[in-house]
C-alpha cells in the first residue's frame, strides 16, 4: 500500500508540485495580509524608540533589516552630506544633524561595533582623534578600563570612558571620532548614516523626507511619521480589500485541493479501476487519496509560510522602507483548515468513484 502510494506520487510529481506551489503562493499572501498590521506596528514601535521624532538618512541601497540588526553593509555616502543639509533651505527645519559611520569589526576575537561620530555629546567622550568611549560589554570582554590603550588596524586609542549602562544595543560598541572610524574601517570621507532632528510638529514630514532625498542624491530618508503614514495607507487598502482577498484566497486554496483530487481521480481513473479489479479495497483507495491530498495541502501551507518571509520583507521595504516579519501564529489555523478542506474535497469524489463498477473506470464496456 505504501509502495503504491509513494510510486503514484513519484509518477505524478509535477501536478502535485504545481498544486503545492499554487497553494503556497496564495497562503503566503493570506499570511502577509493577516500579519501585516501587527508586524508593522511592532517595527514602528521599535523605530520610534530609536528615532524618536527624528529622521534617519542612509544610502539608498542599504539593507534596512541588516542595518537595524547592526550588521552594516558596504554602502556609504559622502561625509559632507550633513553640511549640505545645513547649507540648504532645509536647514531651518534641521536643528540637529549627526553624521555617523557604523561598522562591524573583530578585535582579539571579539565581535564589536565601531561607531564614528562627531563627538558633540559628552556622553561619548572627548573629540580627540585617539580617544575612545566603549560600552561596558566591550570593556569586560577586552579586559579594558579607563586610560588603557587599544590598538586597532594600526590606530592606537586611549579609553576615555566606559559607558555603563550603555545605550540599548551598544553594549559591544566602540565610540570614536568620525575621522578615526573612517580610517579604521577603510572608508575615508564616508558615512553610512545621518541622523536629523528638529521641531517638525507643523511640518509635512513625508514631503520633508522627499526634499532631503532630493538634496542628498542616492539616499533614503526614514521617519516614524512617514512609516506610520505608509502603514495607515496600507492598512486602509488592506482593510478595503481584506474581505475580498480572504474570499478569493480561500476559493483558490479550496479549488486547488479539489482540482488536485479531481485531476488525480480523472488521470488515475483506469488505475483506480484496475486496483479495484485486482482487489484493492475501496476504503484503501479513499484513504490513499485523502492522505495524498492532506500531505499536499499541508505542504502548500508550510511552503506558503516560508515564502511569506521574503515576500513580506520585500513588501515592507517597498512600501514602508522597513523589513517586516510575518507572524506564524496563524499556522495551526491554516494547517487545520487546509486539512479539513482536503479531507472533505478528497473523500467525497473518491467515495463516489469507488462505488462504480471497475469496468466503468477501465472503460472495458
SS3 content of the chain, % helix, strand, coil (to 5): 60, 15, 25
The pairing of strands 131-135 and 155-163 is parallel
Q: In the window 317-356, what residues touch another protein (CB under 8 A)?
A: 354-355
Per the CB < 8 A criterion, the answer to whether 139 and 170 are in contact is no
If one asks whether residue 365 binds another protein (CB under 8 A), the answer comes out as yes
| Lookup: cell for 18 | 504545481
Per the CB < 8 A criterion, the answer to whether 209 and 215 are in contact is no
Q: Which is nearer to another protein, 191 or 361 (CB)?
A: 361
The DSSP 8-state label assigned to residue 90 in this structure reads G
Backbone φ and ψ for 76, nearest 5 degrees, come out as -135, 170
Backbone φ and ψ for 131, nearest 5 degrees, come out as -100, 140
Which contiguous run of DSSP H or E holds residue 358?
helix 358-362
Considering only 81-89, 196-204, 232-240, 269-277, which stretch makes contact with another protein by CB under 8 A?
269-277
If one asks whether residue 3 binds another protein (CB under 8 A), the answer comes out as yes
At its nearest, how many Å lie between another protein and the CB of residue 229?
58
Per the CB < 8 A criterion, the answer to whether 31 and 330 are in contact is yes
Per the CB < 8 A criterion, the answer to whether 313 and 325 are in contact is yes
* C-alpha closest to that of 30 among 223, 293, 356, 308: 308
Q: Which is nearer to another protein, 92 or 363 (CB)?
A: 363
Considering only 1-9, 26-34, 64-72, 105-113, which stretch makes contact with another protein by CB under 8 A?
1-9
Q: Which is nearer to another protein, 326 or 358 (CB)?
A: 358
Spatial neighbors of 184 by CB under 8 A, at least 6 apart, are 103, 105, 114, 152, 153, 155, 176
At its nearest, how many Å lie between another protein and the CB of residue 363?
9
Q: Which is nearer to another protein, 79 or 271 (CB)?
A: 271
Considering only 2-10, 60-68, 172-180, 297-305, which stretch makes contact with another protein by CB under 8 A?
2-10
Q: Which is nearer to another protein, 9 or 70 (CB)?
A: 9
- x/- binding map, residues 277-316, to another protein, per CB under 8 A? xxxxxxx---------------------------------
At its nearest, how many Å lie between another protein and the CB of residue 17?
17
Residues that bind another protein (CB under 8 A): 1, 3-4, 7-8, 10-11, 270-271, 273-283, 354-355, 357-360, 362, 364-365
Amino acid at each position: 500500500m505504501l509502495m503504491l502510494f509513494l510510486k503514484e506520487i513519484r509518477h505524478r510529481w509535477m501536478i502535485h508540485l504545481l498544486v503545492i506551489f499554487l497553494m503556497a503562493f496564495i497562503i503566503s499572501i493570506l499570511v502577509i495580509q493577516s500579519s501585516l498590521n501587527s508586524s508593522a506596528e511592532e517595527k514602528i514601535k521599535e523605530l520610534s524608540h530609536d528615532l524618536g521624532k527624528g529622521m534617519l538618512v542612509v544610502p539608498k541601497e542599504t539593507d534596512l533589516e541588516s542595518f537595524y540588526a547592526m550588521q552594516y553593509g558596504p554602502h556609504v555616502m559622502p561625509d559632507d552630506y550633513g553640511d549640505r543639509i545645513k547649507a540648504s533651505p532645509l536647514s531651518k527645519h534641521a536643528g540637529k544633524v549627526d553624521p555617523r559611520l557604523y561598522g562591524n569589526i573583530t578585535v582579539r576575537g571579539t565581535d564589536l561595533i565601531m561607531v564614528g561620530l562627531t563627538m558633540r555629546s559628552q556622553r561619548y567622550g572627548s573629540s580627540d582623534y585617539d580617544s575612545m568611549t566603549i560600552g561596558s560589554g566591550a570593556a569586560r570582554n577586552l579586559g579594558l578600563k579607563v586610560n588603557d590603550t587599544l590598538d586597532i588596524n594600526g590606530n592606537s586609542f586611549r579609553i576615555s570612558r566606559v559607558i555603563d549602562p550603555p545605550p540599548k544595543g551598544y553594549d559591544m560598541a566602540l565610540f570614536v571620532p568620525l575621522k578615526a572610524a573612517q580610517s579604521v574601517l577603510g572608508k575615508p570621507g564616508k558615512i553610512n548614516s545621518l541622523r536629523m532632528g528638529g521641531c517638525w510638529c507643523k511640518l509635512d514630514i513625508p514631503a520633508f523626507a522627499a526634499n532631503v532625498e532630493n538634496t542628498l542624491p542616492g539616499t533614503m530618508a526614514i521617519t516614524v511619521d512617514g512609516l506610520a503614514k505608509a502603514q495607515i495607507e496600507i492598512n486602509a487598502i488592506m482593510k478595503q480589500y481584506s474581505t475580498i482577498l480572504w474570499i478569493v484566497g480561500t476559493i483558490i486554496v479550496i479549488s486547488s485541493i479539489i482540482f488536485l483530487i479531481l485531476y488525480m481521480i480523472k488521470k488515475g481513473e483506469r488505475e483506480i479501476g484496475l486496483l479495484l479489479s485486482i482487489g484493492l479495497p475501496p476504503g484503501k483507495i479513499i484513504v490513499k487519496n485523502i492522505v495524498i491530498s492532506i500531505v499536499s495541502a499541508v505542504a502548500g501551507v508550510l511552503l506558503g509560510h516560508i515564502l511569506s518571509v521574503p515576500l513580506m520583507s520585500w513588501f515592507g521595504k517597498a512600501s514602508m522602507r522597513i523589513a517586516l516579519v510575518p507572524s506564524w501564529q496563524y499556522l495551526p489555523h491554516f494547517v487545520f483548515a487546509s486539512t479539513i478542506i482536503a479531507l472533505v474535497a478528497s473523500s467525497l469524489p473518491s467515495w463516489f468513484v469507488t462505488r462504480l463498477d471497475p469496468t466503468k473506470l477501465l472503460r472495458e464496456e
